[in-house]
Structure 1
Amino acid sequence: MHENDDPCLAHAMASSASCADLHDHGDLTPRASRRGLLRTAGLLGAGALASTAMATPAQATPGWRPDQDNQRFTLVVMPDTQYLFDEDRGDSRPLDASLRWILERAGDENIAFLSHLGDLTQNGLAEEFAAIGKAFTVLDRAGAGYSVLAGNHDITSNTTDQRGNSPYLRTFGPARFKRAKTYGGSSPDGYNSYHLFSAGGRQWLVLALDWRPSTAGLAWAQSVLDKHAALPVIVTTHELAFADDSGAAHLSDFGRQLWDQFIARNDQIFLTLNGHFWPPGRTVLKNDAGHDVHVHIANYQDRYYGGGAMIRLYRFDLARGCVDVETISPYFQGLPAARRNELAELEIELTGDANRFSLDIDFPARFAGFAPVKPRDPRPASKVLVPGTLAYWRFDGTERAADLSGNGNDLIAAALATASPLALTAEHHPDQPAHASLRFSGGRNKGSYLRTVDSAPLNRLTLERGYTIEAFLKLPADFDAHAWCGVVTRGGTGGDTGKTGDDPDEPSATLNLSSGAELQWAVFPRNLNKISTNWSHLLPLNTWWHVAVVNDGTHTVMYVDGCPVLRNPSTPAAGLVTANKPWLLGAYHYANVVEQTFYGWLGDVRIVGKALRPDQFLNS
């Protein structure tokens, strides 16, 4: 039976109590054959399946030091553990195993925080809380960041957070957390709390709300959000949503009140987590600002062995803009296969859309309403003219053709028979010094481009001591019909300089793009009678990229957004050959005939007469 299928659900959810008070303590575990259970009854030794012993938590390595700047971190969620702490029934070892797993893997998983979703115990008795409180001391000793909250089984369920003293409050009230680094504070009644953890280069707020927050409790919660108005918020509470058998979540009657009165009004809240009901499920709701709020329910108490203190891992990846979610049981995972019975085998890891899934979240966009990312300010040319700069071009004003290095490598406009104008735009890479670009709309045998003047010193340089060529670019969605359009190309062919290997009609040097949007640097080095090429990976379209080709006088490495690509040749390549002809921006030539112009946006372009490190690039 699922709680939301119970006939008394509508009545109970409309009141301050719940059907869970009557029905979430029953034995709903799937039955195995008696022969199967007897055959594998040595789960943890004789009598383990019905053990009433409360094992002492294992000692863990002290110290809790998540990497706060890592763009990848993990939030651990633990729902209802009530059947593990049920008078003289239950078994604390599954919880011990989960807490030990969290501490042992805190570094590898970069675990930043743990949230328990309530119903820590079955009856809210002092002896039950003494047992689970003892288990959680392993986190206290390690200085781990975590939160707990009261579920309906932890307190008198028909009361609000104004209920006063209780075994829950004495065990997990403000006194327990006062020395915790992540603890922000509690409401005056002690039943609501907030916690701050740092991960992904920013702070996050976890708001742990009571089973039934009162008007005063919600006012306190609002004051917390008002005081931390720029922080993304995760709301944890015991009851908010239930799910149907398909895994689709729906707000309960109480959950609808909490949503309307509090969650929907606060755009900072992007994720809510609750237990109480089963099965697990999820949905996405729109708040009053029209933004997504992910609403998730996790509860495994109805599974074998009370859920075995199963945990859910929310692996945030800010670089990829996603959260990968996985549900596992460290307790059953940790048992040798020979000691796992047939039901335990089913609990090692849960799959399916309700328990293993990914969320795509554009974090900067989702948080822009309360914590906008300040765009990087433009930088004047004087700030990026590093020693050795030979030419620097940017397109943010009327001097778009001038070489801002002062070396006289100015650009002039050129066009094919079918010309198309170059358009100044405000489009730019977020880390580009100039907040502007040129839009090229050319193609094969048509379009316009730029070239250096005939007297430019750059035309005759061989750059034998090394070079760095950088450019910012963006390719339109329909780029595939514009293969081999040049980004930066040197005038003159390999044949013009005496190079006879490969195809001597190819340019002496060119940075261009395949139809698959792969960058290619193809060059006749001075020491080779053939073309040396570097290749990037396929570049996603409609995205700004920074490319740098770096030669140290011996080898050439291509970088995309400061990252070295795979296909860089190991054969030495020294310098560039020259026919003393102009360099082209936004064009490719073959046999000295310009036959293809660039299609897309070009931002700042810089050529430096030595190898630069990635931290010296224009996008650094």
Structure 2
Amino acid sequence: MVAAICWAGLSAAPAHAAASCADLDRPTWHVVNPSTGSSLLTPWSQEADNAASYGWTEIEGTPFKASTGPADELVAVHRLYDRDTRDFQWQFAGSAAKESAEAAGYADQGVNFFASRSAIAGCTVAVSSLTKGGHHQYALPGEVAALVAQGWTQAGTTFHAAPSTPVVEPAPVPPPPPAGTDTTFSFAVMPDTQNEVGPTDQRMPARVSWLVDNKKALDLRWVLHSGDVHNWDTPDHAQFAAMSQRLEPLTAAGLPFVAAAGNHDTGAVCPGGSACPGADTSVTVRDTSTWNAYYPPSRMGLQGVFEAGHSENGWRTFAAGGVDWLVLNLELWPRTSVINWAKNVVATHPDHNVIVLTHSFLEGSGEVSTSNGGYGANSPATLWAALDDYPNVVMTFSGHVGQVANTSLTARDGHKVATFLEAMHAPTTNPVRIVTVDTAAGSIRTEVRSNFDRALPAGEQDVIRVYPYTATVTGMRWVR
């Protein structure tokens, strides 16, 4: 069920403008350099991510939509840059303002996007330019007053574009489950297990045995792994062979298993645990040949994949607690084509509650990461911006950094999305997160525990430990 939307305060567009309105479809990123206040506007998310290395570190999201090609009533907007002041301007082609900027030392970097010179009733808002200390910042009408109060001077409207965030009507509250429905169940999420790959390490076997033995008591329905199952690959694939075998009892016990591929599960990491020397990690991070040899889509029961024979981008559905679920498994720092595929999966399963599983999403602090690791494609923030307007995305799980964290995000229609981090990188224990969902109460309770500690003397290693990371998320809303 896609949420209905309406454009607040905008009148109906005349017929002759309809094509132009439809062409204003490219979300445009706004990134600010905090030391100068200078804006960077770009329709390319990867450029927004990369801008951090040049000082533009404050990502303000995608406040408007422009066009990346010409259309009726839309005009080319050029980006100009002053190398001395490290400041950008945006001006229409052939305008006096563009000529003035070039005379002042700004170099024309070419067409950045296409927008309208004037308002198009029903689909555009004004994007204004403000100046302070020789720098330019760009803002929508509701942002101008606050910038003026900070000492910025309004230079006037530069162009008109479509607002990226329409007013979204709250998603309807779904009816309660039928009387007598079992509304509670659990699933497990394993953290980074890259330290457990030794040939005699018993932590994964002990964890798997405990989950299998307690399948009925915990009402476990499936098991997830948020990535870095292994530490690195070798010519004999010893780590993959060992961990793959240790995970087999899950399948034998009828516990579905879905794992995300972390950076250590790809060709980007070489023996020792560091990036392979002399390699282009943006290419090798997509080398999942060994991963897919041991964890093909069929082993995870995936019902759809982005690329045939590859499990790092795939999905499978479940039914539990009286509602339908979809686990969406995504590659680390996903490519734009993968994000577009993921959006289509979510959109075509409107009655499934979507759980996003990917190796990097939250930072250790619990904030959504804005980094692509320096060699990935898009950041988790970009992924979230692509998924936050779907009413059926309800949870995310990730690892990679930090220890354990959980927080909640608010989607555009106002519903809560519970986000969890479990990296741990435990040196001696074998932690696992148990997630208990109550669809009637709208709650998620999680507990991190282990049942083995190799640091203890032989005969005393089988010890239950509950970590101080228990959390309960309330106010969840499910689609039905």
Other-structure match for 1:99: 208
Contact 1:249 1:282 in 2 (8 A): no
Shift of 1:154: 0.6
Question: Shift of the alpha carbon at 1:142?
Answer: 2.3
The whole-number CA distance in structure 1 between the counterparts of 2:231 and 2:247 is 17
- Corresponding position: 1:77 with 2:186: no
Where 1:153 maps in the other structure, the secondary structure is helix
CA contact (8 A) 2:199 2:242 kept: no
The equivalent of 1:169 in structure 2 is 292
Q: Paired residue for 1:256? A: 381
Paired with 2:458 and 2:333, the residues of 1 have a C-alpha distance of 42
Asked whether the equivalents of residues 249 and 296 of structure 1 are also in contact (C-alpha less than 8 Å), the reply is no
Task: Find the counterpart in structure 2 of residue 360 from structure 1.
Answer: 474
Instruction: State yes or no: 1:230 paired with 2:355.
Output: no
Residues in 1 aligned to 2:261 and 2:446: alpha-carbon distance in whole angstroms: 24
Hey, what does 2:267 align to over in structure 1? 156
**1:235: how far off?**
0.5
Q: In structure 2, do the counterparts of structure 1 residues 275 and 329 end up closer, same or farther at CA, with 3 Å as the change threshold?
A: same
Match of 2:257 in 1: 146
Alpha-carbon shift at residue 331 of structure 1 (Å): 2.2
Q: State whether residues 72 and 317 of structure 1, in contact with CA within 8 Å, keep that contact through their aligned partners in structure 2.
A: yes
Change (3 A) 1:350 1:15: farther
Q: What is the CA-CA distance between 1:172 and the residue it aligns to?
A: 0.8
Aligned CA-pair RMSD: 3.1
- Equivalence for 1:266: 390
Alignment match, 1:8: none
TM-score (norm 1): 0.42
Partners in 1 of 2:255 and 2:459 — Cα distance? 33
DSSP 3-state at the match of 2:262: coil
1:285 aligns with 2:409: yes
Q: Which stretches in structure 2 are left out of the alignment for 5+ residues?
A: 1-47, 52-179, 269-280, 372-378
**Distance in 1 (alpha carbons) for counterparts of 2:397 and 2:422:** 7
Change (3 A) 1:106 1:238: same
Q: What does residue 145 of structure 2 align with?
A: none
Equivalent residue runs for 1:465-484 within 5 Å: none
* 1:161–1:211 CA contact under 8 A, matched in 2: no
Q: How far, CA to CA, are the matches of 1:199 and 1:284 in structure 2?
A: 22
Q: 1:239 to 1:91 in 2, by over 3 A?
A: farther
For 1:46, the equivalent position in structure 2 comes to none
Given that 1:270 and 1:294 are in contact with CA atoms closer than 8 Å, whether structure 2 keeps it comes out as: yes
CA distance in 1, matches of 2:367, 2:438: 24
Shift of 1:326: 0.7
Q: Identify the structure with bigger relative contact order (alpha carbons < 8 Å, sequence gap 6+).
A: 2
Paired position in structure 1 for 2:306? 187
CA distance in 2, matches of 1:160, 1:114: 30
Structure 1 residues 70 and 155: alpha-carbon distance in aligned structure 2, compared to 1, 3 A threshold: same
Q: 1:540 — aligned with what?
A: none
Distance 1:128 1:150, change over 3 A: same
Alignment match, 1:295: 419
Which of 341, 344, 352 does residue 220 from structure 1 map onto?
A: 341
Question: Residue 328 of structure 1: SS of its match in structure 2?
Answer: strand
Q: Could you tell me which residue of structure 2 aligns to residue 348 of structure 1?
A: 465
Structure 2 SS opposite 1:96: helix
Instruction: Report how far residue 272 of structure 1 moved.
Output: 0.8
Matches of residues 116-155 of structure 1 in structure 2 within 5 Å? Answer: 116-125=225-234, 126-155=237-266
2:249 partner letter = V
The CA deviation at 1:99 is 1.0
Deviation at 1:110, TM superposition (A): 0.7
Q: 1:161–1:198: structure 2 CA closer, same or farther, 3 Å change rule?
A: farther
User: For residues 92 and 192 of structure 1, do their structure 2 counterparts lie closer, same or farther at Cα, with a shift above 3 Å needed?
Assistant: farther
1:108 CA displacement: 1.2
Pairing 1:412-423 to 2, within 5 Å after superposition: none
Distance 1:215 1:167, change over 3 A: same
Query: For residues 23-48 of structure 1, what are the alpha-carbon distances to aligned partners after superposition, in whole Å with 9 as ceiling and x for unaligned?
Result: xxxxxxxxxxxxxxxxxxxxxxxxxx
**Match of 2:352, SS?**
coil
Q: Please state whether the residue corresponding to 2:230 is helix, strand or coil.
A: coil
Compute the TM-score of the two structures, normalised by the length of structure 2: 0.54
The answer as to whether partners of 1:161 and 1:210 remain within 8 angstroms in 2 is no
Q: Tell me if the contact between 1:250 and 1:283 (Cα under 8 Å) persists in the aligned partners.
A: no
Choose the corresponding residue for 1:311, options 420, 427, 432: 432
2:266 and 2:449 map into 1 onto residues whose CA distance is 28
Cα deviation for residue 113 of structure 1 reads 1.1
Count, aligned residues: 283
Larger Rg: 1
Identity of aligned residues (%): 25
**AA partner of residue 306 (structure 2):** S
Gaps of 5+ in 1: 1-12, 17-67, 372-620
| CA distance, structure 2, for counterparts of residue 218 and residue 209 of structure 1 | 9
Counterparts of 2:248 and 2:369 in 1: how far apart (Å)?
Answer: 34
